[in-house]
Each structure stands twice: as C-alpha cells, then as structure tokens.
Amino acid sequence: MLKIYNTLSRKKETFIPIHKGKVGMYVCGMTVYSDAHIGHARTYMAFDIVRSYLEWKGYTVIYVQNITDVDDKIIAAANREKSDPLCYSQKCTDKCLTDLDRLGIQRAGIYPKASENIDNMIQMIQKILDNGYGYISDGDVYFSVESFPKYGRLSGQKMEKIQSSGRINGDEKKRKAEDFALWKKQKPGEPYWDSPWGPGRPGWHIECSTMSSKYLGLPFDIHGGGLDLVFPHHENEIAQATAATGKEFANYWMHVGLLRVDGEKMSKSLGNIVNVRDLLQKYHPETIRFFYAQTHYRTPPDFSPAAMKIAQEGLTRITRAREKLHQKACPQELKRNELTSTEKDYFDAILQCRAEFEQAMDDDFNTPRAIAAIFDFVKMTNKHLQEKHPGLYQYAYDTLTELGNILTLFREEKKIDETICEQLTKLAEKYVEVMPKKEIDALMIAILDARDKARDKKEWEKADMIRDKLENLGFEVQDTAQGTTWRMR
C-alpha cells in the first residue's frame, strides 16, 4: 500500500487515486532563461522515479510539467541578447530539455507552455473576478487574498502573521500587500496579449492553476515541485484554481528538498550554480542519478566531489554484480522445488529483495531504503556466484534490472569506443601468437590467455605490463580462483 507524505497534512497518507488505475501528476517546471542546473535535475529526477514507480505499480500516469516562458527574467535576458523573448525562451527550452535528456531523465508526458495558454488563463482570471475573489486596478488584476479564507493552509501560515511580518511587497496598486497579480498591465517594450482588462501579460502563478486544470481536470492526484515553491506559489495556485472553479485542486502535495552545494545553498548570489551540462563533462549520467536517488526526495542532498565519489563507488559495486549475473544468465524454466538448497537460499533472497524494495518505495518513495535492499541483494549475489542454474541467474538479473530501472538505473548501455578495438589489436599483435578476430571479446580472451601463460611462467613483469595496459584502456582485470575476469569500466 503506497503512502505519500502530503505537505497539506504534514503526514504520510495512503495514496488513493481519484480514478482507479490512473494518476494525474503536475510538477512545476522550469522558467527557461538559462541552462538547466542540478537543482532542476534533482526535482525532475525525483518525479521521474515517482512516475516510474507508479507505473510499476500498474498505474497509468499522466505527467504534466509546465514550461514558464513568459516572465520578467526571460524578457530581461532576451533584451540583453537583443532577441525576441519568445524565440529566446524557445531556444532555452530546447537546451534545457536536451540537457535533462542527456542526464537520462525521462521526459514528462506533456510540456505545456505558458505562452500557448494565455487564453485559458484569461478565462480563469475572469472567473476569479466573476466569483468576487479579485479586483482590477489600473490595468492590473489582483487576487484578493483576504477573500479566500483557506489561504495559508498549505504552508501553515496565518493571514494576520503574513500581514504583520512586513516582509511582503507593498504596491500602490494593490489593496493589500499580500495580494498578488493575476494580470500585469503591459509595460513598454514587453510582450503583451490583449485581455478584457487591456493589453498585458499573466502573473506567474496563474499559469499553473490554469494548465494543471486544463490537462488533468480538477481535482487531480499529485502536485509536485521544489520545496521553495510551497509559499507563495503553490498557496496561490490553490487559491486561484479553487476561487475560479469551486473545486478542490490537488489531493497530494509533494515537495522536493533543495539541493545544496558543498554545504551551501545553491544560488546566483553565491555563484555556485552547477549546470547540468558542465556536470556531464565530469560524471557519467548514471552516477549523477544514483547520487540523487541515494537521498530521500524530501531530504536536501549536498552535492560535492566527495559525495559523487561515494555514489560512483557504490554504483560500481551494483554494476559489477549485474554484469556477473548477465554472463551467467540464460532463460530457463525455474521451479523452486527443483533447486538445490543453496540455490533456494539465493532464490528466496531475490524474493526478499523484491519485497523489501517494494516496502521501501511504498513508504513515501524511500529510495535510500530501496537501494539498501539492492545492496543486500548484491551481497547475496556475490555469495551465490557458484550456483549452476542459468535460469536462476536470469531471474536474478531480470529482477535487478527491473528494480534498478525504477530508480533510473541501467538506462543506458555502455558505449564502446571505436578506437578501443584498434588499440586492443595492437596489444594483441605484441603478445598474442595467433591473431583472433577483431572483436573486443575475442581480443580480450587472446590477450588474457597470453597473460596467463606469462603468469604460469612467473613472468610477473610481463603479466603486470599487460594488465596495466588494459587498465589504461578502461578494462578492469581481476585474477580470481576461477580464472581471470575482465569488465569495462
């Protein structure tokens, strides 16, 4: 039974979808005016896993993630570049989504853009006005927060406190400081759309109320985003959608803990924003994803080279076990009562891993616990590498792959560098008597065979030389009691 921590109640609640077998999920997307950074990736990774797990549980998931392409900062950036804001944001959108693709984060089902839903927003604003929750002021339209008694429920704020804090922006055009803009009157040099209140553009919050209800209908199941969006953005979304439609908005609110960098908040002012693209120069996408998955989605992860190293090494441990399984696996009928007793132990361990994995994920998508289950499974695998049943290994391999996929692991195959084969051939020419086919496997077998002969003759220098050269080409060579094994890093 899946439980989700709901920001609304600050408790874990049993997940019950509105429509049986279906889940509607809306996640606040990027404001596209620069590159995607690892904070974005953190959030979309988290929801990629949420989506994957829900699908694994048998739900059909409709995943909507908006693109904010109408915004002050976009306009400012476009003006600096002397280009049209919408063209500029289109370019950024493509870049950002491509970066996330390269990180191996699966795309949402629908990416609605603010600029393409202005009419819908105007309609919603009109309804808010019709229902008495907003007012017009010199070409601007504002939401009147005091007219919406439930305001503050999501973030635990009390209206009086918000007002008395003195921290929110006053404005002559607003009746109350806490009111927020639904529609902003056009300013010179800015893009605008016509509306019943004159030319202008929508406020930021309205796009999410509008597009979520347009694509998912109200109410819908899950609304997610970064923890920083709880107030005021999500609070405002609820107010707007409810004021306009009278319907409930979202049932479960999920918020992702914000990524930190070397123990500090990641921000423009600190100048420590790490772009996805730059990070991909240094680390394999799978390592980055594993790093994220190692921290529960509500806990702020701390990004650092040291943390990446830990992720890298842990992931390698899993990968090695999976490769060994792959080598031994072959589809074959599997009946528990036909297994030897040690094979039964292993088979039961696989079942145990599945059960623990599901239990962990059912508990508010507890990926660190799920990963612990996988590590337990890896340990059992390494202990049982002497079994004889290929079907058992197939089942183990399939299980590890299936569960890993939910955590975004094993999504890409290793790329084989074209030049590796040539370099291996050169090595073989030097040490091998009979040249094998120019394929990596054949070359490796021949080279390692030559090395074994050297080892038999106790020619350690030669053997170590070969091993060093292979290591340099990216091969991990290990001598074990069962012979020499190799793998690509």
Q: Which residues pair with 90 in a beta bridge?
A: none
Among residues 95, 233, 411, 453, the one that binds RNA under rule CB under 7 A = 233
Q: Minimal distance in Å, beta carbon 61 to RNA?
A: 18
Nearer to RNA, 257 or 390 (CB): 257
Candidate list 51, 184, 467, 469; residue touching RNA; CB under 7 A:
467
21 vs 166, which CB is nearer to RNA?
166
340: Cβ contacts below 8 Å, ≥ 6 apart? 387, 388
Compare residues 22 and 298 and give the one whose CB is closer to RNA. Answer: 298
Site for RNA in 365-404 (CB under 7 A): 366, 368-369, 371-372, 375-376, 378-379, 382-383
Closest CA to 151 of 82, 262, 235, 224: 235
Question: Helices marked H in 103-227 — which ranges?
Answer: 118-130, 159-164, 206-216
CB 347 within 8 A of CB 337: no
Q: Strand (E) positions, 282-339?
A: 302-303
Q: Which is nearer to RNA, 3 or 22 (CB)?
A: 3
Q: Per DSSP, which regions of 216-271 are E strands?
A: 220-226, 250-256, 260-261, 264-265
> By CB under 7 A, what part of segment 315-344 binds RNA?
317, 320
Q: How many residues bind RNA (CB under 7 A)?
A: 84
**212 vs 111: CA distance, rounded Å:** 11
Q: Which range, of 109-117, 237-245, 347-355, 475-483, touches RNA by CB under 7 A?
A: 475-483
Contact map string, positions 75 to 114, toward RNA, x by CB under 7 A = ----------------------------------------
Q: CB under 7 A: which stretch of 50-58, 239-247, 262-270, 401-409 binds RNA?
A: 262-270
The tokens for 83 are 């280009």
Q: How far is residue 150's CA from residue 124's CA, in Å, rounded to a whole number? A: 19
Q: What length is written for the chain?
A: 489
Q: Is 265 in the site for RNA (CB under 7 A)?
A: yes
Residues 6+ apart with CB under 8 A from 158: 152
472 vs 480, beta carbon nearer RNA: 480
Q: Is 232 in the site for RNA (CB under 7 A)?
A: yes
Among 70, 77, 162, 308, binds RNA (CB under 7 A): 162
Prior bond to 149 cis, omega within 30? no
